[in-house]
């Protein structure tokens, strides 16, 4: 395995995919010619008869996966999130209506890397997937969580799973090589400095910006807590109730479009379950098409880099 | 207003007779047309034209060529048949009913709450896939056929598509990929009835030389009359012998086949539009259609010297099964 990519999210995912596939012969991987970015050729090498190269034909690939699932197999469908989830959305919906289980790999989720531009950045997928019944959306924030989430999806989850994977090397912070316990529907506290406010976000890029913001604000005696929420469209009632008791101000941050993302799912959950009305919530998300550029300049222009987050948080607290 | 149904026993009786399969299929098809019309009349909506154009193909598949018995409906080795266009499902429900897979009560709940859905759903016994939104069926059949090979189980995968449906892009992804991926035991049949929702297919988007188009994608293509059981039978037998290429059968059919005033050539001539695409016939049209079908049934039964079947009648106003009566029809 490529040593440069040792602790990438995609590498963790691949390792578990291979180890689980050794045990579970029902796992079949389908790809729309974008397997290199997830290093899925390693899977193909190990299980050539369980890898279907479907060409750049996402709709056909997803319906084919539907046929495999109807036959009792467990298809793992791979493409870039922006193509898979939007172009083949109706096929995903149709498969789901058959009450089978399929795992969708939503590669290259979010707006970073930003060099390819809006055709490739995926910032609508949570919204597009979450209005399909029987599907759970995840976004691991590091190598280890990618392994935990995939293991959970293969072994325990009964519904369809969409696993968003960030592309690129992990940011330079120890937290990305640390193992945290993954519980479906619950967030993990990555930094607990106090209860002036709670930041909820996901994905390696935004977690990194948020950590830097939390650490910076700490010096200014603003004590915040940072939570990684890798379950994006379903939440543990107990967990949400618990955190909403502890914090008055919540920041929901994501590099997804402002409608239909994790924030909206979370806010809807609070309303639906009638959880505390005294919460003050600040949502920070995309308001328009994402820009193309270097990661830091794009995060900055969308108000998602450390400095912008610091500014917004100070204003709100 | 009364609607009429032939029950499973009527079909079983035909199957028991010592006549050829071609003759059996002819009689079975006539009884099904009565059931289909009654189901649609009962629900107030449904697709008559496509059900009638696809019916003969479905009968040959489900009763003779790729039969799946009630016992083997969950068997992994079974032949898997489904329609990708899906709106022809009244025909399939009627067949599944006659094979004992759907109850009579269910048949009377076509398009009603907790009954039989307007388009196929796998919650219904004998339905293999959820379809109705056009274009996905061939791809899904590809997945099932791939799985059969991987799991080393037997059986063909047969999928029916519409000619209007052939305008969907996903079809072409699937055709190209199947010939490349060399899926085995997969048969696609086009119910080529020439008419789609609002006009002739040729006036909406002409399919052109459809045979050479599909051939150029690497398929073994046969073209037959989709209402001639002999041709249907021979196409399957000839087609499945060629193992190197996947099989595509273009079946020329007539939309609304079996009831003269619903058959598309006369309808298009008279109304410039196919008026029986969807929706139930009025009471008057329903009666005329049934009279014609009953007349044909009498003649055919007489021709093959079989005593006439009894038919169940239900008064639509009663809406109660207890009023069901079995009568002789004349």
Domains of chain A: 3-165 (3.40.50.970), 174-316 (3.40.50.920)
Contacts of B146 in chain A (CB under 8 A): 52, 64, 67-68
Q: Is it the case that residue B4 has pLDDT exceeding 80?
A: yes
What integer is the mean pLDDT of B276-300? 96
Mean pLDDT of chain A: 96
A218 touches chain B (CB under 8 A): no
Contacts of A68 in chain B (CB under 8 A): 143-144, 146-147
Would you state the structure tokens that stand for residue A272, as one six-digit string? 């639906």
Residue B176 to residue A57, Cβ atoms within 8 A: yes
pLDDT in tens, A232-274: 999 999 999 999 999 999 999 999 999 999 999 999 999 999 9
Distance CA B17, CA B172 (A): 44
Instruction: State the ipTM, two decimals.
Output: 0.95
Distance CA B33, CA B108 (A): 15
Looking at residue B134, what is its pLDDT? Answer: 98
Contacts of A69 in chain B (CB under 8 A): 143
Q: Is it the case that residue B322 has pLDDT exceeding 60?
A: no
Q: Is it the case that residue B228 has pLDDT exceeding 90?
A: yes
Contacts of A67 in chain B (CB under 8 A): 129, 139-147
B118 touches chain A (CB under 8 A): no
Nearest CA distance, B198 vs chain A (angstrom)? 24
What integer is the mean pLDDT of A167-185? 96
Smallest Cα–Cα separation from B223: which of B234, B62, B85? B234
B218 touches chain A (CB under 8 A): no
Q: Residue A94 is nearest to which of B136, B174, B177, comparing CB atoms?
A: B136
B176 touches chain A (CB under 8 A): yes
Residue A72 to residue B147, Cβ atoms within 8 A: yes
B307: Cβ–Cβ under 8 A, 6 or more apart, which residues? B301
Smallest Cα–Cα separation from B3: which of B31, B32, B28, B35? B35
Q: Residue B147 is nearest to which of A60, A61, A71, comparing CB atoms?
A: A71
Looking at residue B160, what is its pLDDT? Answer: 98
B145 touches chain A (CB under 8 A): yes
Contacts of A133 in chain B (CB under 8 A): none
Nearest CA distance, A67 vs chain B (angstrom)? 4
B124 touches chain A (CB under 8 A): no
Give the residue carrying structure tokens 């929420």: A229
User: Element (H or E) spanning A84, and its range?
Assistant: helix A81-87
Look at A78-82, A276-280, B87-91, B106-110 and tell me which has the smallest mean pLDDT.
A276-280
Mean pLDDT of chain B: 95
Task: For residue B30, give its domain range.
Answer: 2-328
B135 touches chain A (CB under 8 A): yes
In the three-class reduction of DSSP (H, G, I as helix; E, B as strand; rest coil), residue B77 is classed as coil
Distance CA B180, CA A78 (A): 19
Distance CA B240, CA A304 (A): 60
Looking at residue B90, what is its pLDDT? Answer: 98
Report the domain count for chain B: 1
> Is the Cβ–Cβ distance between A305 and A274 less than 8 Å?
no
Smallest Cα–Cα separation from B98: which of B56, B70, B132, B66? B70
Distance CA B329, CA B310 (A): 7
Q: Is it the case that residue B327 has pLDDT exceeding 90?
A: no
Residue B69 or A297, more confident: A297
Looking at residue B316, what is its pLDDT? Answer: 87
Strands B186-192 and B80-83: unpaired
Contacts of A61 in chain B (CB under 8 A): 139
pLDDT in tens, A182-235: 999 999 999 999 999 999 999 999 999 999 999 999 999 999 999 999 999 999
Residue B329 or A129, more confident: A129
B326 touches chain A (CB under 8 A): no
Q: Is it the case that residue B330 has pLDDT exceeding 60?
A: no
Distance CA B192, CA B161 (A): 9
Residue B86, phi-psi category: left (phi > 0), alpha (psi -120 to 50), beta (remainder): left
pLDDT in tens, A77-129: 999 999 999 999 999 999 999 999 999 999 999 999 999 999 999 999 999 99
Q: Is it the case that residue B321 has pLDDT exceeding 90?
A: no
Chain B residue with minimal CA distance to A30? B143
Residue A37 binned pLDDT confidence (cut-offs 50, 70, 90): confident
Q: Is it the case that residue B319 has pLDDT exceeding 70?
A: no
A52 touches chain B (CB under 8 A): yes
Give the residue carrying structure tokens 């008057």: B284
Supply the pTM of this predicted model. Answer: 0.96
Distance CA B296, CA A235 (A): 62
A285: Cβ–Cβ under 8 A, 6 or more apart, which residues? A252, A253, A254, A255, A256, A257, A258, A261, A263
Distance CA A115, CA A292 (A): 5
> Is the Cβ–Cβ distance between A62 and A110 less than 8 Å?
no
A48 touches chain B (CB under 8 A): no
pLDDT in tens, B141-199: 999 999 999 999 999 999 999 999 999 999 999 999 999 999 889 999 999 999 999 99
> Is the Cβ–Cβ distance between A7 and A176 less than 8 Å?
yes
A94 touches chain B (CB under 8 A): yes
Looking at residue A260, what is its pLDDT? Answer: 97
Residue A94 to residue B128, Cβ atoms within 8 A: no
Residue A60, phi-psi category: left (phi > 0), alpha (psi -120 to 50), beta (remainder): alpha
Check whether the bond before A134 is cis (ω within 30° of 0): no
Output phi, psi for A112, to 5 deg. Answer: -115, 135
Contacts of B145 in chain A (CB under 8 A): 67
Q: Is it the case that residue A58 has pLDDT exceeding 80?
A: yes
Contacts of A64 in chain B (CB under 8 A): 139-140, 142-143, 146, 177
Would you state the structure tokens that stand for residue A104, as one six-digit string? 């969708």
Looking at residue A38, what is its pLDDT? Answer: 87
Instruction: Give the CATH number, domain containing residue B123.
Output: 3.40.50.970
Looking at residue A6, what is its pLDDT? Answer: 80
Distance CA A275, CA A288 (A): 30
Contacts of B135 in chain A (CB under 8 A): 59
Chain B residue with minimal CA distance to A67? B143
What residues of chain B, 37 to 76, have a C-beta less than 8 Å from chain A? 76
A51: Cβ–Cβ under 8 A, 6 or more apart, which residues? A28, A29, A31, A40, A43, A44
């Amino acid at each position: 395995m490529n040593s440069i990519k040792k602790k990438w999210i995609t590498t963790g995912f691949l390792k578990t995919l291979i180890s689980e596939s050794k045990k579970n012969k029902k796992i079949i991987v389908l790809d729309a010619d974008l397997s290199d970015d997830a290093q899925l050729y390693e899977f193909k090498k190990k299980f050539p008869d369980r890898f279907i190269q479907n060409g750049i034909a996402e709709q056909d690939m997803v319906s084919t996966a539907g046929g495999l699932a109807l036959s009792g197999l467990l298809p793992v469908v791979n493409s870039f999130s922006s193509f898979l989830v939007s172009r083949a959305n109706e096929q995903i919906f149709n498969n789901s209506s058959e009450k089978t289980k399929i795992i969708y790999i939503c590669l290259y989720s979010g707006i970073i890397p930003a060099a390819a531009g809006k055709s490739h950045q995926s910032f609508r997928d949570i919204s597009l997937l979450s209005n399909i019944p029987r599907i759970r959306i995840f976004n691991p924030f590091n190598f280890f969580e990618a392994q935990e989430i995939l293991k959970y999806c293969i072994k325990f989850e009964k519904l369809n799973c969409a696993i968003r994977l960030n592309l690129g090397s992990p940011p330079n912070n120890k937290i990305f090589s640390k193992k945290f316990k993954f519980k479906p529907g619950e967030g993990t506290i990555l930094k607990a400095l106090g209860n002036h406010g709670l930041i909820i976000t996901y994905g390696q890029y935004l977690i990194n910006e948020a950590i830097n913001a939390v650490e910076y604000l700490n010096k200014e005696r603003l004590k915040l807590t940072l939570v990684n929420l890798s379950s994006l469209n379903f939440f543990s009632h107990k967990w949400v109730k618990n955190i909403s008791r502890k914090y008055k101000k919540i920041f929901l941050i994501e590099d997804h479009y402002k409608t239909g993302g994790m924030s909206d799912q979370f806010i809807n959950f609070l309303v639906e379950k009638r959880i505390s009305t005294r919460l003050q919530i600040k949502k920070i998300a995309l308001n328009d098409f994402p820009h193309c550029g270097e990661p830091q300049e794009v995060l900055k222009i969308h108000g998602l880099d450390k400095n912008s987050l610091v500014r917004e948080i100070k204003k709100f607290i | 207003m009364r609607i009429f149904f032939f029950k499973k026993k009527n079909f079983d009786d035909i199957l028991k007779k010592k006549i050829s399969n071609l003759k059996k299929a002819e009689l079975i098809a006539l009884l099904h047309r009565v059931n289909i019309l009654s189901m649609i009349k009962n629900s107030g909506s449904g697709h008559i034209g496509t059900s009638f154009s696809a019916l003969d193909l479905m009968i040959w598949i489900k009763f003779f060529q790729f039969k799946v018995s009630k016992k083997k409906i969950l068997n992994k080795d079974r032949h898997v048949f489904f329609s990708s266009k899906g709106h022809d499902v009244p025909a399939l429900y009627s067949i599944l009913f006659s094979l004992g897979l759907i109850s009579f009560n269910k048949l009377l709940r076509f398009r009603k709450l907790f009954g039989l859905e307007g388009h196929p759903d796998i919650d219904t016994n004998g339905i293999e896939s959820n379809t109705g939104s056009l274009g996905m069926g061939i791809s899904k059949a590809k997945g099932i056929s791939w799985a059969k090979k991987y799991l080393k189980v037997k059986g063909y995968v047969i999928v029916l598509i519409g000619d209007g449906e052939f305008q969907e892009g996903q079809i072409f992804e699937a055709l190209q990929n199947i010939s490349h991926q060399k899926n085995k035991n997969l048969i696609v049949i086009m119910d080529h009835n020439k008419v789609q929702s609002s006009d002739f297919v040729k006036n909406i988007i002409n399919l052109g030389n459809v045979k050479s188009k599909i051939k150029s994608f690497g398929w073994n293509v046969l073209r037959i009359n989709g209402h001639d059981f002999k041709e249907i039978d021979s196409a399957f037998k000839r087609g499945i012998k060629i193992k190197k290429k996947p099989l595509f059968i273009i079946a020329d059919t007539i939309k609304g086949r079996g009831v003269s005033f619903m058959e598309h050539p006369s309808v298009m001539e008279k109304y410039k539009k196919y008026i029986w695409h969807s929706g139930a016939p009025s009471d008057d049209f329903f009666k005329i259609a049934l009279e014609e079908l009953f007349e044909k049934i009498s003649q055919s039964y007489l021709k093959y010297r079989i005593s006439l079947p009894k038919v169940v009648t239900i008064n639509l106003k009663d809406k109660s099964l207890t009023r069901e009566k079995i009568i002789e029809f004349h």
